[in-house]
């Protein structure tokens, strides 16, 4: 079976469903292949790089990116494995760009050149080390420029999960050291007789949520999970401020949600926290945002936001799977306490020999975002709107958009929608689709089975609607031809599933 990022293609339909599906799909597949043979081929666009993974191959077909070739087995699916699959057309259209993105050709080139030419240890004093070190320094500048920071504010990490863990670890250590200084007579600190208090939202990525829960379970911190509004779909500033206590040391709120695309009011939160901090004797409230879903889609400027920390995740904006953490003056203006200890790389904040090729790729991808963000954003917005218009045209009163909230801004590439019907659960629709590759929710929640997304439920989406949700996220090179093919695929799939009923 195909296994792609996100909660895709679980194929957990009943045996009776599969038997019906197999008998009906053989006719569909034959018709689809005949139609495909009549469609002229076009040269692949440079704006939509082919997807490649192992022996899986990709090309362009009538303006549509398709994935062909390799069927992967995932033993972790266990009960969901099938002994027989229907003859499904293997041509796939990827619309799961919130889960991960392919590498841009220029990014691949930067990685390849670094592998060939910059293999030296960046800490070495000879020319091989200097070559690698120069690439890392250039990439640091490019990443900083993308988010409006300074090169010295960028710490490279293995990815977003490490960066988020580093921030929460720092907050707890910062609280401990601040209270220790107060107890030594440097000033009485309100809240020091309590555990460090962390505020976050109830729709965060698991790399924030699970760390916070772990700290709470281990008795190392108190955590308040502020619910998002059922009206706006975002966490409200007043609710965040109302949760502040004397022992509050960190507020962490994502910049944009990965399932709904709702953009959170970080600038307003930071403005209110800045006012609160002026009234505090010693323990400053630090503000962090996970910008994984925002970068490469909307403008992100740390100075305008006013955050102390910002998480950067490369594979969300056509870079390799590597990350970085912006820290506003690490170790001086803003505390940063390492989780690892070693050779002193990254100014001792994140030791370990640097992964030069992946850092080079992150730097190149950051350059592309800085140069082309307006074009990327407007194209994705146009394609998303076209997708929603076509879905409304085909499904009419059966379509429900789950991320349309009055007064809230949404990422330009993200649509969360449900096709209403008793047999049209998101997982069932996606596992029946011949072409669409999308998700029912965040890839990090894929272990939750077929339960409705807790994020949609938190936003006030009814359970029966949330259970049918499809998260469709378009990319820089997604075309209207791809949208047309996907909408037709969904139309055929819905008709097929309804006939099974």
Residue 36 lies in a domain: no
Which of 368, 383, 402 delimits the end of a domain? 368
Residue 450: its pLDDT value, please?
81
Q: What are phi and psi of 431, to 5 degrees?
A: -75, -15
Lowest-pLDDT range, 32-41, 144-153, 173-182?
32-41
Strand partners, 469: 418
**Which residue is it, tokens 């929710």?**
441
Q: At what angle do helices 480-500 and 15-38 cross, to 10 degrees?
A: 150
pLDDT of residue 248: 97
What DSSP designation does 450 have? Answer: T
DSSP code, position 474: -
Q: Check residues 33 and 255 and name the one with the higher pLDDT.
A: 255
> How far apart, in whole angstroms, are the C-alpha atoms of residue 293 and residue 99?
9
Q: Is residue 78 part of a domain?
A: no
Alpha carbon distance 320, 340 (integer Å): 22
Quote the mean pLDDT of the chain: 85
Say what the pLDDT of residue 447 is. 54
Q: Are strands 286-290 and 248-252 parallel, antiparallel or unpaired?
A: parallel
Token digits of residue 341: 């200890």
| Cβ atoms 319, 370 nearer than 8 A | no
Residue 87 predicted with pLDDT over 60: no
Number of domains in the chain: 2
Residue range(s) defining the domain that contains residue 463: 373-499
Residues 238 and 297 in one domain: yes
480 inside domain:
yes
CATH no. for residue 167? 3.40.640.10
Token pair recorded at residue 499: 């006939």
List beta partners, residue 222: 197
| Secondary structure class of 271 (helix, strand, coil) | helix
pLDDT of 85 reads: 37
Lowest mean pLDDT among 122-131, 388-397, 448-457, 458-467: 448-457
Contact by Cβ (8 Å): 128, 471: no
Would 378 be classed as within a structural domain? yes
**Mean pLDDT, residues 234-248:** 97
Do 219 and 325 fall within a single domain? Answer: yes
Using pLDDT thresholds of 50, 70 and 90, give the confidence band for residue 182: low
Name the maximum alpha-carbon separation found in the chain. Answer: 82
Element (H, E) at 29: helix 15-38
Same domain, 224 and 339: yes
Domain boundary among 303, 335, 368: 368
Say how far apart CA 208 and CA 221 lie, in whole Å: 14
* Same structural domain, 351 and 393: no
What pLDDT does 60 receive? 43
Is pLDDT of 342 > 70? yes
Token digits for 1? 């079976």
Which CATH number characterizes residue 427's domain?
3.90.1150.10
Condensed to tens digits (0 to 9), the pLDDT of residues 441-477 reads 776 655 556 889 999 999 999 999 999 999 999 999 9
The first and second tokens of residue 294, run together, are 């925002």
Band of the pLDDT at 298, cuts 50, 70, 90?
very high
Q: Predicted confidence band at 192 (pLDDT cuts at 50, 70, 90)?
A: confident
Distance from the Cα of residue 59 to its chain's centroid: 25
Q: Are 187 and 238 in contact (CB under 8 A)?
A: no
Which of 187, 248, 197 has its CA nearest to residue 222?
Answer: 197
Is 444 a catalytic site residue?
Answer: yes
Both tokens assigned to 158: 């293995």
Domain-terminating residue out of 368, 386, 410: 368
Position 95 in a domain: no
Whether residue 201 is found in the same domain as residue 144: yes
Catalytic residue among 179, 249, 444, 459: 444
User: For residue 179, which of 171, 170, 188 has the smallest C-alpha distance?
Assistant: 188
pTM: 0.83
Cα 319 to its chain centre, rounded Å, is 13
326: which 2 tokens?
Answer: 């912006």
Q: Write down the pLDDT at residue 90.
A: 54
How much is the average pLDDT of 382-400?
98
Work out the pLDDT band at 318, boundaries 50, 70, 90. very high
Of 79-93, 221-235, 244-258, the poorest mean pLDDT is in 79-93
Residue 161: Cβ-neighbour burial (10 angstroms; 0-12, 13-18, 19+): buried
């Amino acid at each position: 079976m195909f296994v792609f990022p996100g909660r895709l293609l679980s194929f957990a339909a009943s045996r009776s469903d599969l038997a019906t599906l197999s008998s009906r799909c053989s006719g569909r597949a034959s018709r689809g292949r005949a139609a495909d043979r009549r469609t002229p081929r076009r040269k692949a666009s440079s704006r939509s790089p082919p997807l490649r993974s192992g022996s899986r191959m990709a090309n362009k077909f009538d303006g549509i990116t398709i994935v062909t070739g390799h069927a992967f087995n995932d033993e972790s699916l266990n009960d969901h494995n099938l002994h027989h699959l229907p003859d499904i057309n293997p041509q796939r259209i990827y619309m799961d760009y919130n889960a991960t993105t392919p590498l841009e050709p220029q990014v691949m080139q930067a990685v390849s050149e670094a592998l060939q030419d910059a293999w030296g240890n960046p800490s070495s004093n000879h020319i091989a080390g200097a070559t690698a070190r120069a690439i890392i320094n250039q990439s640091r500048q490019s990443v900083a420029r993308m988010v409006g920071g300074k090169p010295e504010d960028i710490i490279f990490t293995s990815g977003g999960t490490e960066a988020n863990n580093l921030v929460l670890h720092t907050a707890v250590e910062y609280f401990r050291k601040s209270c220790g200084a107060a107890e030594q007579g440097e000033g009485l600190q309100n809240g020091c007789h309590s555990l460090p208090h962390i505020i976050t939202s109830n729709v965060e990525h698991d790399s924030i949520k699970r760390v916070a829960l772990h700290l709470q379970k281990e008795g190392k911190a108190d955590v308040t999970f502020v619910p998002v509004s059922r009206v706006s779909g975002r966490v409200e500033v007043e609710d965040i401020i109302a949760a502040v206590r004397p022992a509050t040391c960190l507020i962490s709120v994502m910049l944009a949600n990965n399932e709904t695309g709702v953009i959170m009011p970080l600038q307003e939160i930071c403005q209110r926290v800045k006012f609160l901090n002026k009234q505090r004797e010693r323990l400053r409230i630090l503000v962090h945002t996970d910008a994984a879903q925002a970068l490469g889609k909307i403008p992100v400027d740390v100075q305008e936001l006013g955050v102390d920390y910002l998480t950067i995740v490369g594979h969300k904006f056509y870079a390799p799977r590597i990350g970085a953490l912006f820290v506003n003056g690490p170790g001086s203006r803003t505390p940063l306490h390492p989780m690892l200890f070693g050779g002193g790389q990254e100014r001792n904040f994140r030791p370990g020999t640097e992964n030069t090729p992946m850092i080079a790729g992150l730097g190149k991808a950051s350059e592309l975002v800085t140069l082309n963000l307006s074009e990327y954003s407007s194209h994705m917005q146009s394609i998303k709107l076209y997708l929603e218009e076509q879905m409304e045209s085909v499904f009419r009163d059966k379509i429900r958009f789950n991320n349309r909230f009055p007064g809230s801004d949404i990422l330009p590439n993200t649509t969360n929608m449900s096709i209403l019907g008793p047999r049209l659960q998101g997982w069932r629709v996606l596992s029946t689709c011949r072409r669409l590759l999308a998700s029912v929710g965040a890839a990090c929640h894929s272990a939750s089975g077929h339960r409705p997304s807790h994020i949609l439920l938190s936003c006030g989406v009814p359970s029966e609607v949330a259970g049918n949700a499809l998260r469709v996220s378009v990319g820089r090179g997604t075309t209207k031809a791809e949208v047309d093919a996907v909408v037709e695929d969904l139309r055929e799939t819905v008709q097929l599933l309804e006939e099974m009923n």
